[in-house]
Structure 1
Amino acid sequence: MPEWPADLNVGELMASGWRPTPFQQFILKIHSRCDLACSYCYMYEMADTSWKRRPKRMPTEVVAAAAARIAEHTRTHGLSSVEVVLHGGEPLLAGTDAIRDIVTRVRAANGTRTRVDFTVQTNGTLLGPAYLRLFDELGIRVGVSLDGDRDMHDRNRRFAGGRGSHAAVTQALRLLTGAEYRHLFGGLLCTIDLRNDPIATYEALLAFDPPSIDFLLPHGNWSAPPPGRAADQELRPYGDWLTAVFDHWHRTRPRRTSVRMLTELINLLLGGESSTEQLGLSPAAMVVIETDGAIEQSDFLRSAYEGATDTGLTIFGNSLDEVLLLPGFAARQIGEQALSPACAACSVKSVCGGGLYAHRYREGQGFANPSVYCPDLLHLIGHVRKTIEADPPAGSEHHRRSEKGSTMKVAEHRISAGMFSAIATGGGGTAAISHLRDVQHSKHILLVRAVMAAARASDHPDAALTRRAYDLLATIQRHHPDVVDRVLRHPAAGAWARQTIIGVRGNDPSAAPAQLAGLAASAAILSGTVCDIDVPAVHGVVTLPGLGQASLSPTVTTATVQCHAHGAEVTGGHMVVTVPEDPHTDGPGWTGLRDLSATADGHAMRIVIDDLDPYRMPGVANLGGRLTSAEVRQWQTLLDDAWRILVHHHHEVAEEVAGAITVFTPLKPPARGQSSATSRETFGCIALSTPPDPTTMAVTLAHETQHAKLSALLDLVPMTKPDDGSRFYAPWRDDPRPVSGLLQGAYAYLGVTDFWRRQRRVETGESEVHAAAEFSRWRASAHAVTRTLLGSGRLTAPGEHFTSLMAERLEAWRDESVADAASALAMRRAERHLTAWNDRNR
């Protein structure tokens, strides 16, 4: 029987408030034999031999019982989606008919309430056209095991007679990666062999352009160490092997694939949560169902000792909830509490997580030990940490802890489940906006530091000036943190930094890292810091972000900003431009950014009109020019009236708008209607053409605030999987959209729907009818798109939760009264149109 943790009392855990995490992944062992005899196989070559006593193929009665138990579990816990992995042995030995029956039964048992995604993990030798047609029909993703080129792969992965399997696997991969079936490709799984060169292995896998690569450490433990990993020795051969892969992968731009272990490490080092049992402390939420119906722990544990996976429970007599309360499952869900004393005292425990549970085993001590790979993991984690601290990823979506010395301080950010859910339903209020603004501020600090690091690493001609500018900003931050906060929160600062990092790394001559001096000069002016700093000029124009521009001679390429306690001058080419005491006004040679402000019932908002900064809204082709004074007065009147609408009838939206939106960027007027946009690179900025009326401005503010909220949230929580080329219909565009665009649009539509839902209650006559029709139109489109998203298979687990909450909110609004039959008909037509389009183009 399994050696459960001796001191683990599940009853006491429950009494203390702990509750198990429901299973999200179900491993169905549909065939218990294999056509290969891999030398490192934990199933057939290690301690456990229970496979010999099980049926070869999962019988129909076991399939039916498994489907019922999975459905019971998803229903009990209200799970909107789960994953079922078809596994073995070699699962394709089960045959196409058996696989079709399994998939059909499991999905039928769960109905439309829970979406069941299927994946199959195969050695690839049997993967031919018949299977690929079946997987395409059933929507089954395919992962393939490949250990490198022919010599690397065939060293371990051979048929029983000794013949290598590489030729058969590569033939299958050519079929899978062709145009007809590539959308089914889930990625490659590679078991590390120290005899194989790490870079050559990685490049051999890249030859198939996989969406992801998962490197696995060979299974072993302290009593049966893996190859080259002698017990109790401090050698780190696997750490060195993976470090070499990391360095090669990390410096490749653009990266062609995701390497799961490495992306997980970066995610954990930057404050995220783990999504794999190999690393981190997140609860393990998977369970195995064997061919005879036995319910078992992760079959990785077979590498430890005979019976290590046994639970004594079966799907015929036990529910999966009973399994959740077994000590072995609880030990893999309670995180730090299950670590050995040595791991609990380790500084990287939240990243390493003690390593894979199976790798901790030592005969006589059970699993209360560090991983047998402890030296390797420590080395790899330390190397990755050092690398990303010196060179954080461009556009990093995570946030590092505060540093010491001449560097800018940056906070670490997480988001609570409650706040995440509140945002998903369209709201969140001022607390959520404040949190998201702080996240963006930290992101901008990281980007600014990355500009300095990129310039230094590339020996850019402006590297020294960039470093001086960074040091000045860090100094001002120590004495005037609010000023630096204000400067770095300006939306254009983030867009400039991200584009500059990309440009410097790509040797783009237009990249301008020295513009960091413009940010430092703005901070010095606002804080009254006495200093001189050189700043770049483009055609004689010096841009000081958040303040305005100084115009010098067109031949000037570098100017000097001289700051003193009561003002500043910009000098260059025998010209001097004095920055006005209020930089948001104009003066000789100086063009300032103008302000708008509005107040209603004691609630105020302030907006800066940025019609100058070259980075104010990247990627927008119809940017407008400098607004005239008359146009500014027109915008002020519209804002006054729109703000009153928001404060009087949409109070929470008004608070969110005031907190999130700080900058307007003018757009050229379209042929008809109004144009507006936001960018993930410029949180806090709305680009818009002059609105035709106050209500349009109010709804535009609500609409674009939703985009801003979601963009900022995505910097904390990834909600869509990497783009695999799938495209879907969106009611707001003629061209099909990737799932990321679909999610952005649906969330913005959720906010607009809520606006018209409230607005129709305060309107009368034709205005009321119009508001009701708008509510129905926007709700129908948003609801239909959430259904497409939930059926796309392209959302992460948080993305599934987020979209499900959106869908529930929109569904609840369906029951609210519709003003007339025409708008109800429009709602039904929109949903039918969307369904038909996606069916045709699936």
Structure 2
Amino acid sequence: MYIQTFVLKIASRCNLNCSYCYMYNKGDITYLTQPKIMSLTTLTATVSRIQSHISTNNLSEVFIVLHGGEPMLAGKKYIRNLINLFRNQLDARINFSIQTNGTLIDSEWVALFQELHVNLGISIDGPKQYHDNYRKYHNGKGSYDTIRRRLHNLNADSQVGYLFVVNTAILPEELYKFIKDMKIRHLNILLPDHHYADLPSSKTSKELGNWLISLYDLWRNDLNRPFVDFFENIIKSFFNLSEGTQILGSCENSVVCIETDGAIEVIDSLRTCKSGITKNNLNVSKNEIAEIFKLDLFKMYYLSHSTVADKCKKCIYLQTCGGGFLPHRYSLKNEFDNPSIYCESLFGLIRHIENDIKIEIKIE
């Protein structure tokens, strides 16, 4: 067992205050005790621990995700020095990406990312009236206009993927038109971070499956469609071409978070379940990365697609779904021993895609 993706929380604060954010608005307040920016000492220790992990496991490739908070708050010089440090010290191919809210992007940032070969992920939640309802500054002002203005700094050489949190208040047709008008070529969609102790409205839950099916049909019938990871991974699973991701699939989840203070933790999305749930005594200053496998919570996350509820074990779509995303299974009574709260919606979508594939194959 090994880790291949390292999410570096280089900034513990954010210039936005998104209402659904698992970091700041879902009950976990542990970020308040964290350094605002990861120090050089912690960065150096992190590089050393990752290199040790690479050597021990003979890894040829690793993925480094710069995350936050808002990672661009660390500044351009910081990011340049970080990437140079990692490239000089790690004996493996490194794939760098940064996940940002997009409000700070300027032409210098774009040039820096292109020079250093950093893939850019930008969060945007559809047209202005929907985006601004959730993704706001701390003063309550929406961030949409700022982001759209900042996106003009991108160019044809920019390696950009967009991240969208599903909102059933947006008609699928309206969202897809937005995607096309934005000329988005790479998109991933996320289900809202809820669980049995924090359920979405019954209307939203019931509508979600049909909403996803409608969006899939719009996408599928578009000959010039963008790459949508969520749909692509489901399709590929039927041909054994993809083991999926931590969201859906059959893969082992070889992802770990390094906090600004050097803490080695399970993915931060789990913080939506209970404040402090990811906290432990591991730190890059004194521990190897692999020691996280000693933690029950991490082992559960790592094997979450094979350690599923009894209902899931009998499901015909287990290989494709893998029980869904671990945080979406949580309840106060059974903890993670439940199907995803989105089980019915995911089942309907996967069945719809399977039938679509069968029709396509029959026609051909």
TM-score normalized with structure 1 length: 0.42
Question: Residue 288 of structure 1: CA displacement?
Answer: 0.2
8 Å contact 1:27–1:289 — kept in the other structure? yes
Structure 1 residues 226, 312: closer, same or farther in 2, change over 3 A? farther
Q: For residue 184 of structure 1, what is the aligned residue in structure 2?
A: 158
Q: Distance in 2 between matches of 1:119 and 1:229?
A: 36
Question: Residue 357 of structure 1: CA displacement?
Answer: 0.5
Q: Distance in 2 between matches of 1:109 and 1:229?
A: 51
1:572-610 Cα offsets, whole Å, 9 max, x none, are xxxxxxxxxxxxxxxxxxxxxxxxxxxxxxxxxxxxxxx
**Structure 1 segments of 4 or more deviating over 4 A?**
227-230
| Structure 1 segment 706-725 matched on structure 2, within 5 A | none
Q: For residue 550 of structure 1, what is the aligned residue in structure 2?
A: none
Q: Distance in 2 between matches of 1:228 and 1:212?
A: 31
Question: Residue 381 of structure 1: CA displacement?
Answer: 0.9
1:364-400 Cα offsets, whole Å, 9 max, x none, are 31111100111111111111111111124xxxxxxxx
| Structure 1 segment 56-75 matched on structure 2, within 5 A | 56-75=36-55
Structure 1 residues 363, 272: closer, same or farther in 2, change over 3 A? same
Equivalent residue for 1:209, pick from 173, 177, 183? 183
Q: Give the aligned residue type for 1:123.
A: N
| RMSD, matched Cα | 1.6
SS of the counterpart of 1:332?
Answer: helix
1:240 maps to 2:240: no
Q: Distance in 2 between matches of 1:65 and 1:164?
A: 38
Structure 1 residues 228, 61: closer, same or farther in 2, change over 3 A? farther
Q: Distance in 2 between matches of 1:237 and 1:299?
A: 27
Q: Give the aligned residue type for 2:215.
A: V
Question: Residue 189 of structure 1: CA displacement?
Answer: 0.2
| Structure 1 segment 324-343 matched on structure 2, within 5 A | 324-334=293-303, 337-343=306-312
Q: For residue 350 of structure 1, what is the aligned residue in structure 2?
A: 319
Q: For residue 220 of structure 1, what is the aligned residue in structure 2?
A: 194
Equivalent residue for 1:365, pick from 325, 334, 357? 334
Structure 1 residues 365, 121: closer, same or farther in 2, change over 3 A? same
Q: Give the aligned residue type for 1:244.
A: S
| Structure 1 segment 774-785 matched on structure 2, within 5 A | none
Question: Residue 194 of structure 1: CA displacement?
Answer: 1.6
Indicate the larger mover: 79-88 or 195-204: 195-204
Higher relative contact order (CA 8 A, sep 6+): 2
Gapped regions of structure 2 (runs ≥ 5): none
Whichever of the two has the greater Rg, that structure is 1
Question: Residue 337 of structure 1: CA displacement?
Answer: 4.1
Task: Report how many residues are paired.
Answer: 364
Q: Give the aligned residue type for 2:75.
A: G
| Structure 1 segment 625-704 matched on structure 2, within 5 A | none
Equivalent residue for 2:219, pick from 241, 249, 255? 249
Equivalent residue for 2:20, pick from 23, 32, 40? 40
Question: Which structure has more helix as a fraction of its residues?
Answer: 1
Structure 1 residues 303, 175: closer, same or farther in 2, change over 3 A? same
TM-score normalized with structure 2 length: 0.96
Q: For residue 124 of structure 1, what is the aligned residue in structure 2?
A: 102
Q: Distance in 2 between matches of 1:104 and 1:372?
A: 42
Q: Distance in 1 between matches of 2:310 and 2:280?
A: 26
8 Å contact 1:223–1:362 — kept in the other structure? yes
1:400-442 Cα offsets, whole Å, 9 max, x none, are xxxxxxxxxxxxxxxxxxxxxxxxxxxxxxxxxxxxxxxxxxx
Q: Distance in 2 between matches of 1:40 and 1:351?
A: 27
8 Å contact 1:48–1:302 — kept in the other structure? yes
Q: For residue 317 of structure 1, what is the aligned residue in structure 2?
A: 286
Question: Residue 335 of structure 1: CA displacement?
Answer: 5.3
Q: Distance in 2 between matches of 1:65 and 1:319?
A: 10
Q: Distance in 2 between matches of 1:229 and 1:367?
A: 24
Equivalent residue for 1:53, pick from 10, 29, 33? 33
Q: For residue 450 of structure 1, what is the aligned residue in structure 2?
A: 363
Q: Distance in 1 between matches of 2:201 and 2:184?
A: 27
| Structure 1 segment 93-108 matched on structure 2, within 5 A | 93-108=73-88
1:134 maps to 2:104: no
Q: Give the aligned residue type for 1:125.
A: T
Question: Residue 334 of structure 1: CA displacement?
Answer: 3.1
SS of the counterpart of 1:183?
Answer: coil
SS of the counterpart of 1:170?
Answer: helix
| Structure 1 segment 804-819 matched on structure 2, within 5 A | none
Question: Residue 345 of structure 1: CA displacement?
Answer: 1.5
Structure 1 residues 129, 249: closer, same or farther in 2, change over 3 A? same
Q: Distance in 1 between matches of 2:158 and 2:294?
A: 35
Question: Residue 229 of structure 1: CA displacement?
Answer: 6.3
Question: Residue 336 of structure 1: CA displacement?
Answer: 5.3
1:508-559 Cα offsets, whole Å, 9 max, x none, are xxxxxxxxxxxxxxxxxxxxxxxxxxxxxxxxxxxxxxxxxxxxxxxxxxxx
Question: Residue 83 of structure 1: CA displacement?
Answer: 1.0
| Structure 1 segment 709-748 matched on structure 2, within 5 A | none
8 Å contact 1:37–1:157 — kept in the other structure? yes
Question: Residue 116 of structure 1: CA displacement?
Answer: 1.1
Query: Percent identity over the alignment?
Result: 34
Question: Residue 332 of structure 1: CA displacement?
Answer: 2.8
Structure 1 residues 336, 83: closer, same or farther in 2, change over 3 A? closer
Q: For residue 261 of structure 2, what is the aligned residue in structure 1?
A: 292
Structure 1 residues 227, 288: closer, same or farther in 2, change over 3 A? farther
Q: Distance in 2 between matches of 1:169 and 1:228?
A: 32
